[in-house]
Chain A
Amino acid sequence: MAAACSSDGDGDDAADDEGSGLEASGSDDTEAEEEPEEEPEEAPEEEETTEEEAPAAPSIDPGDNGVGAAEMAAAISAALSDPQAADGEAISIGMINLEGSPGGSFPEIRAGAEAAIGLINDSMGGIDGRPIELTTCAHEIDPSAAQDCANQMVEADVSAIFVGVDFFTPGLYPIWAGIPVYNIVPIFVPDFDNPGAISFGGGCVVSFPGQMKNIVEGGVDRLAVIYSDNAPGNGCWQDTQLRPLELLAEQNPGFEFQGFPEVPEDPADNDVVNQQVLDYLAGAENPGVQFGIAAPQCAEYWIGLREAGYEGDIYSSGSCDDDNALSQAGDAVVGVTVGFTGYSERLPELWQDNELIVAEVELREQTLDAFGGDTPDGTFKNAGFSTMMTYYMALSEVAADGGDPGAGQSVFDQIKTWSGHHSYGSPPIDCGAAPADYESICDYTIAYGIWNGTGYDLAAPHVNNLDFVASLPPREG
């Protein structure tokens, strides 16, 4: 069986067993739930005690976090002080994700999304009391299994489909004709310019052009780009790395670059690639290496380059911000610059003075710690969580306007009107302002941190790169 499908109205199995993250951490007693028959007489006392000790609703300053920030602040406040479970008619959404293939597996995205759904249903009262039912389908790197998952979404009659990471989306969109699609990590051109798709985060199209610009502005005069020689790697290279680099080289005559494909499935090519990179950078005044590779390869190349004697700057995208990769690389990753599209708990300088973001990051971490499973923490897990929480905001808005949050197209249309709108755990987003080539992308901001061994030091705060992305030369073909 190559694809595994499951449906869970509460999000996570762990959440089913143990209650929501908020309950586990504060306002409820799990033991009282487990042994109600043995000590029935104590239950009222406990309830009373709980009521007495219930924290007052914290007042969260929504700050300058965009439209809808106040509502999110209020929702978090209510969830913390008086968690409510949803028990109405479920709103059905679906999610497919690439998992289980050694060549590409991102279970942390689903874990993050399921944790968020658990939080929404168990503590935030759902959407006007209606829980979200998330049907998930994980598949391996197998086009047939991906197609099966796509068909299962249609059969489940979901109102929206969320895509974690998938190497086959261009072939799946036709199957999903008429169903809104939300890409959590957009990769291919059709993920950027599909009128029926939205991404709250930017994926390649934000991470790479913005980082290239930042690299050149930082004074790097010769840049080696190591990218994955597979479908997503080449997609990102061709469209979101090569094009901005060509433009930057044109605008900055002293700047040059070269791409170095690396085959993820072939560990034997690492030494050769490293040597080629070092040869290319030899003699450069300010050399730099930029990664367009997945987390397992990040660790390999951080270590390989440092062991080979490279001492220049290394820049990585958020895909490298992964517990396993960072821990495997150890000291080799210290000093590496990583780009972030949202707010990372490992880079508190970005958000520690913003009360709403502090609350959002803490709530996210609390929930993921409790129910995120043993999948690695990092940018992708956060993205899964934040995407679902941002979608919750859209559902709530539709419901507040008297619409049906179960009608996927209404929600999609609502999001398309967002301008300067709050996005959970991220700077504000615009979902209707991008040029046609990138109309699916809502967020063009990226910040940079430098890994210090335990967290990131702020290198540059969020900068919106929409103008730069929009100025890129048109694609060929």
Chain B
Amino acid sequence: MSSFLAALIIGVGFGGFYALLGSGVVAAFKGSGVINFSHAAIAMYSAYTFNELRGGLAASSLDGGDPEATLVLPWIDFIPGDTINIPVKIGLGPAWPAFPAIILTLLVAAGLGLMMHFLVFRPLRNSPALGKVIGSVGVMIYLQAVAQLNFGSVNRRDEGVVPTSTAKNFLGLGADIGVDNFIIAGIALAVGAGLTALYQFTRFGIATRAADENEKGAVLLGYSAQRLAGINWVLSAFAAGIAAVFFIQAPSLNQEQWSLFIVPALGAALIGNLSSIWMTTLGGLGLGMLQNGLTDVAERQAWWSESFLGDLLPSAAVREVLPLIAVITVLFLRGDKLPVRGSVVERRQPRAPKPTNPVKSAILPTFMALIAINVFTGSWESNLTATLVAAIFMLSFVVVVGYLGQISLAQLTFGGVAAYAAIRFFSNGEKIRPFDLFAMEGLDLPSPIAFVLGVAVAVVAGVIVGLPAVRVRGVQLAVVTITAVLAFEQLHFQNAYWTQDGARSNTSIEFPNWFGADVSVQPIEGGATDRWQFSVFLLIWVVALAIGVANLRRGATGRRFLAVRANERAAAAAGINVARTKLLGFGIGAGIAGIGGILLSYKLTSISPDSWNVFAGLALLAFAYLGGISSVSGAMVGSLLVAGGLVDALTSLHLDSLNPEYFTLIGGVGLILTAILNPEGIAAGNFELWSHVIKPRLQGLVPAASTSTATPSPSPATELELELDHA
């Protein structure tokens, strides 16, 4: 019991950090209605800034010397050559003492907040929830990439400003507890109290709350909603900066680790109902304490570790699952009461054009793909298969996000669920390849049956993750799904009960044989991947699924999906069972993702829990959005853009020596720009270009000189909306 209590108390340090981050998330939401997925990334950038001002890696270098303070600005010098240089690193003399370093770090954080407001979220103020989520994901990707480019990928640790002494045998519990834990918790409480007072008792705070409740009303009362939003963004970033400078001395962290703290921060913010700073603070503290305490119990107590509980929920998983439990509990209990912040004007959802003749449309791309399969060899063939696999995942996004309007960040995870399930169904206790690390026990089923059962498991997982969608929508659902990704990673992929030794290792994948045809990516005797037979096998799946998704959109189910996406109440009033429609969409989407996951595992020949990590899933969503999230053609365009895809291969021809992080950075910027300027994605832009410029010229219907001023005729998508309205 004493160790449990000690663990609980130690948890106040991380809890305080979660609370500080959660408070910032709430402040941003109050100000602009954005659930900022990049909030922890702001803390990350602030922490690295603080470390650089204190001398950076050289501060404690073994080589000695005088460490210097450097201000590293959050961009890169993208102009080639030395003629014009954009300042990135500004030398500030010898390493700075703590206090001025904190001040400048907080200013940098505040600057980041302002930049995000003016450059990203102000332009997105009228966008639907998905656009704002994509914007914040784009910011997160950008900040991670720019941090890697400007600071390197070495973990940073700083002596910080908080004393690291320990309280010996604290309260007689037998444990020595770091004083820094209490200090961070104290700072979190102080910041929480300060922000609460600010929102409760100041004119600015009252105006923010007014705008939060009813933005139109606040505007009518004479408040500038955007000025309020800007100030709240600064406050939010400030909170992230404070969290960073007071937490940096705790562990040695890298960029991804910092950014992943967004999950418990979101959990804390939801406990605070996205509105109460005080409840968020307490929620964050409680979450940190419970994580530590329950992890300790799961590790030490035989009734947990040696029972089925330990199998299903090992100690390492407790930490990730708790935020999920907190989030889902809050959403289920208060889902309908969670604030959905309105805006003065809300832009409509991306159009989902109705395909006219999917089979006919598929003929040319299929023919081109077959030529590519015939021509490509080696790494080009591999880039092609990466594109084809990605296309399947993109199609799953089209169904769930594009048609149904539910923001799911878990599609890649569903793929992983299916892949691990399928290999268990296939395995027979013998090693598949000579260098396999272990042999997996399983049902020894043929590849096609294992495939189908694996997809079925993914469908079940999709429906389970989709259950909260019955109660919530929009960004809150995005929070559920990103939390679910981490929980699945721990509960399933890294859980030896389900994946045996594959929980912490590489799981070898079968040589798939479908009805006598060897469709494996690699020759059984060994050698380079990818075989053309595998490429053809993939192409068949892509074409079939693309036609299927297009027909789904054309049919009654697709219309129901769009109706739910447009207005759930109206859809319900029209006789549509909204809950069933949502679960059906999640199930179909997860099934498609499951197919993608198994095919991806075929391609990789071995999988590990890392194959399905949260950042890879976010990148897929990002490319789906770039391509066009609400159409099959958008999915195809998005699949071309993924890392390892055909566009990547083309750019690599000329930019081979370029740091891959530049591509990530460009991807982040592209995502933000797409969300702001072209929310319907590249495919829709091409469609417009084809429909209104190229095709009329080819047909000679519109004189070339007049195309720029011609009023576009109603697009098929507009006709679709009319049709839907009538339906």
Contact = CB atoms under 8 A, between A and B. Distances in A.
A145 interface: yes
A177 B660 contact: no
B166 A307 contact: yes
A309 interface: yes
Given A171-B506, A234-B504, A2 B643 contact: yes
A187 B181 CA distance: 36
B153 A105 contact: yes
A269 B319 contact: yes
B535 interface: no
B525 A100 contact: no
B77 interface: no
A100 B148 contact: yes
A275 B652 CA distance: 48
A266 B609 CA distance: 15
B382 A275 contact: no
A105 B616 CA distance: 17
B295 A170 contact: no
B176 A103 contact: no
Interface stretch (A29-37, A69-77, A83-91, A146-154): A146-154
Interface residues of A, number: 77
Interface in A53-97: none
A4 B660 contact: yes
A143 B660 contact: no
A300 interface: yes
A462 B57 CA distance: 32
Given A265-B260, A330-B60, A147 B3 contact: no
Given A170-B436, A268-B319, A330-B60, A151 B382 contact: yes
Given A101-B153, A327-B57, A328-B60, A148 B435 contact: no
B256 A102 contact: yes
Contacts of B250: 267
A324 B260 CA distance: 23
Chain B, interface residues (CB within 8 Å), range: 35 or more
A405 B166 CA distance: 60
A362 interface: no
Contact of B254 (A99, A155, A171, A296): A296
Contact of A175 (B295, B437, B529): B529
Contact of B605 (A1, A155, A174): A174
Interface in A333-362: none
A459 B382 CA distance: 51
Given A275-B175, A323-B62, A330-B60, A144 B3 contact: no
Contact of B10 (A263, A271, A303): A271
A265 B256 contact: yes
Given A154-B528, A327-B61, A174 B522 contact: yes
A6 B61 CA distance: 31
Q: Which of A150, A169, A234 has the most CB of B within 10 A?
A: A234
B251 interface: yes
B439 interface: yes
Given A324-B155, A327-B60, A276 B299 contact: yes
A188 interface: yes
Interface in B575-601: 600
A324 B604 contact: no
Interface string A173-217: 111111000000000111000100000000000000000000000
Interface string A5-36: 11000000000000000000000000000000
Contacts of A271: 7, 10-11, 13, 178, 292
Contact of A2 (B178, B527, B644): B644
Contacts of B148: 100, 102
Nearest to B439: A477
A177 B529 CA distance: 12
Contacts of B13: 271
Contacts of B533: none
Contact of B606 (A168, A276, A278, A327): A168
B648 interface: yes
A171 B61 contact: no
Interface in B11-56: 11, 13-14
A327 B62 contact: yes
Contacts of B606: 143, 168, 170-171
Contacts of B196: none
B296 interface: yes
B254 A229 contact: no
Contacts of A1: 643-644, 648, 651-652, 658, 660, 663
Interface string A97-137: 00111110100000000000000000000000000000000
Nearest to B663: A1
Contact of B299 (A154, A178, A272): A272
Contacts of B661: 100
A380 interface: no
A140 B252 contact: no
A175 to B, nearest CB: 6
Contact of A100 (B10, B61, B153, B251): B153
Contacts of B600: 144
A38 B554 CA distance: 75
Nearest to A378: B62
A103 B529 contact: no
A329 B157 CA distance: 9
B435 A177 contact: no
Interface of B: 3, 6-7, 10-11, 13-14, 57, 60-62, 148, 153-155, 157, 164, 166, 168, 175-176, 178, 250-257, 260, 288, 291-292, 295-296, 299-300, 316, 319, 378-379, 382, 386, 433-439, 501, 504-506, 508, 522, 525-529, 600, 603-608, 610-611, 616, 643-644, 648, 651-652, 656-661, 663
CB-based closest 5 A-B pairs:
A177-B526, A102-B254, A267-B251, A171-B606, A296-B155
Given A3-B644, A154-B528, 9 more contacts: A6-B656, A143-B611, A147-B529, A155-B379, A170-B435, A171-B433, A174-B433, A190-B436, A299-B157
27 contacts: A141-B610, A142-B643, A144-B644, A147-B603, A151-B528, A168-B608, A169-B435, A170-B437, A170-B506, A177-B526, A189-B437, A190-B436, A234-B504, A263-B316, A266-B316, A267-B253, A268-B288, A269-B319, A271-B7, A272-B296, A276-B299, A296-B254, A299-B155, A324-B57, A324-B154, A330-B60, A376-B154
